[in-house]
Amino acid sequence: MAQQVIAPARSISGGIAIPGDKSISHRLAIFASLAEGPSEIRNYSPAADCRSTLECLRRLGVAVQSGEKGRRRKDPAQDPGNTPRVEIQGTGLHGWRKPRRTLDAENSGTSIRLLTGALAGQSFPSKITGDASLRGRPMGRVIEPLTQMGAHIHAHEGGFAPLEITGAPLHGIDYTLPVASAQVKSAVLLAGLFAEGATAVTEPVRTRDHTEIALAEFGASVRRTGNRIEVAGGPRLEGRQMIVPGDLSSAVFFMAAASILPDSKLRLLGVGLNPSRSAVLDFLVQMGASIRVTELAVESGELGGVVEVTSGRTVALRGGKIAGADVPRMIDELPALAAMGTYTEQGVEIRDARELRVKESDRIAVLAENLRRLGASVEEFEDGLRVAGRAETHGAGLRGAEVDPRGDHRLAMALAVAALGARGETRIRGAECVAVSYPSFFQDLNSVAQR
Ligand code: S3P
């Protein structure tokens, strides 16, 4: 599937079971590997990124079995036996073994940053790297606090992977994050498990708290006071049976599609709704989207539920602006929201989002370039972008074109959403990159897109 053709759709209707959350899956696999005894993780994310984490754990001598029993059913919460399941034999906190080969995080920022935190506290040396995109992403942000804890990490010039980590005894620190990053917070907390004393991280604004939740589920002592999180070193983690909710950052593409097309009626099953991730729902509602959440339940410490999205005969989305503390709370949803811009009255503006430039691609530049190819009117800023709405473009709308998401999974999916309401077909180059987070995205999209 080098190229994916997206034909326009009239509306979106039907139901989708959203695959397991990528962020949570990484964390559960890593903590399970450090726990004592077996763990079972159900609805583990099918994302290539999460496979990279499992592969790294195998190279560290952890017994990991993964497999899908049968086909994924419509509702994983109702039928957990038939969803991707991972079994991990925990080695205990000090049971990882020196890897014989370099660990490869491939495209996954979460894998490299979280694992670096845990590797920093080992008694053996290791080396971790990734693909060309990952080798261009900043690692100084994890190296800095880990070095303060006593770690020895040698990076490629400029603070990039490959990272060579010489295991060293660590001590706890009290660290204030200079950038709001759940990956950096998690790397420091993970290193904190191996450190002497307590390790604390203060975040400038709240970021996703899956690490804190999962650590507590596995039995670690985690305390949050305001924006400060503290873990005690040397906990005894215990193997668990865990279930992963569906990935809200994957679900958002369908929410966007159902909101920009008229007469839509969509039911998304088993969606993770952790409050540190769900700001996008409020934003969509503020824009005028019609969203209803039902069947709320907490499993393995994480909130989840069913999300229903409907639209009327005519679409009347207002548009809006995302800035400040809302940015980290919606960081992975911003491409989908930008893709909606042309379909709103006032457009969509994103500011204070410089971080988008150091994701799997420079998401500001690549989005601006490709939305323009589809005929959108886009203003690019150093810290964001603004996609003009109908009021300015006089309802000119988008037209199908050839687009290139530059290997960035979320951009491929965002452009697919924008293309659904365009005149004529759109071709997405290198569309197979969706497998990084959502391998069955195009099948699922085709199953609900009414043409
Ligand atoms: C993630 C945190 C975010 C997010 C990424 C996943 C995580 O990155 O964009 O997709 O799992 O902790 P940053 O920590 O760089 O903000």
State whether the beta carbon of 332 lies less than 6 angstroms from ligand 1.
yes
| Mean pLDDT in residue range 364-371 | 98
Backbone angles phi, psi at 81, to 5 degrees: -65, -25
Ligand 1 atom closest to Cα of residue 22: 11
Using pLDDT thresholds of 50, 70 and 90, give the confidence band for residue 83: low
Residue among 108, 179, 210, 331 whose CB has most ligand 1 atoms within 8 A, to mutate: 331
Sheet of strand 320-322: strand arrangement: 320-322, 348-350, 384-387, 378-381
The pLDDT assigned to 85 comes to 96
| Mean pLDDT in residue range 408-430 | 98
- Distance (Å, whole) CA 425 – CA 7: 5
Assess whether the region 3-19+245-450 and the region 22-243 belong to the same CATH fold.
yes
State whether the beta carbon of 331 lies less than 6 angstroms from ligand 1.
yes
State whether the beta carbon of 183 lies less than 6 angstroms from ligand 1.
yes
pLDDT tens-digit profile of 336-347?
A: 999 999 999 999
The pLDDT assigned to 142 comes to 98
Catalytic residue among 104, 332, 404, 408: 332
State whether the beta carbon of 25 lies less than 6 angstroms from ligand 1.
no
CATH number for the domain running over 22-243: 3.65.10.10
Is residue 125 scored above 90 in pLDDT? Answer: yes
Ligand 1 atom closest to Cα of residue 180: 16
108 CA to centre of ligand 1 in angstroms? 10
pLDDT tens-digit profile of 309-349?
A: 999 999 999 999 999 999 999 999 999 999 999 999 999 99
Q: What share of the chain in percent tops pLDDT 90? A: 95
The pLDDT assigned to 67 comes to 80
Residue spans of the domains in the chain: they are 3-19+245-450, 22-243
The pLDDT assigned to 69 comes to 52
409 CA to centre of ligand 1 in angstroms? 14
Is residue 147 scored above 80 in pLDDT? Answer: yes
**Chain mean pLDDT for the chain:** 95
381 CA to centre of ligand 1 in angstroms? 22
pLDDT tens-digit profile of 383-399?
A: 999 999 999 999 899 99
CATH 1.50.10.10 fits 3-19+245-450, yes or no: no
> Three-state secondary structure along the chain?
CCEEEECCCCEEEEEEECCECHHHHHHHHHHHHHCEEEEEEECCCCCHHHHHHHHHHHHCCCEEEEEECCCCCCCCCCCHHHCEEEEEEEECCCCCCCCCCCEECCCCHHHHHHHHHHHCCCCCCEEEECCCCHHHCCCHHHHHHHHHCCCEEEEECCCEEEEEEECCCEECCEEECCCCCHHHHHHHHHHHHCEECEEEEECCCCCCCHHHHHHHHCCCCEEEECCEEEEECCCCCECCEEECCECHHHHHHHHHHHHHCCCCEEEEEEEECCCCCCHHHHHHHHHCCEEEEEEEEEECCEEEEEEEEECCCCCCECCEEECCCHHHHCHHHHHHHHHHHHHECCCEEECCCHHHHHCCCCHHHHHHHHHHHCCCCEEEECCEEEECCHHHHCCCCCECCEECCCCCHHHHHHHHHHHHCCECCEEEECHHHHHHCCCCHHHHHHHHEEC
The pLDDT assigned to 1 comes to 60
State whether the beta carbon of 437 lies less than 6 angstroms from ligand 1.
no
| Mean pLDDT in residue range 148-177 | 97
117 CA to centre of ligand 1 in angstroms? 15
Ligand 1 atom closest to Cα of residue 332: 9
The pLDDT assigned to 68 comes to 62
Atom 11 (ligand 1) nearest CA: 23
Residue among 21, 45, 115, 181 whose CB has most ligand 1 atoms within 8 A, to mutate: 181
Is residue 416 scored above 90 in pLDDT? Answer: yes
pLDDT tens-digit profile of 28-82?
A: 999 999 999 999 999 999 999 999 999 999 999 999 999 865 444 444 444 444 4
Q: Among this protein's residues, is 79 annotated catalytic?
A: no
Predicted TM-score (pTM) of the model is 0.96
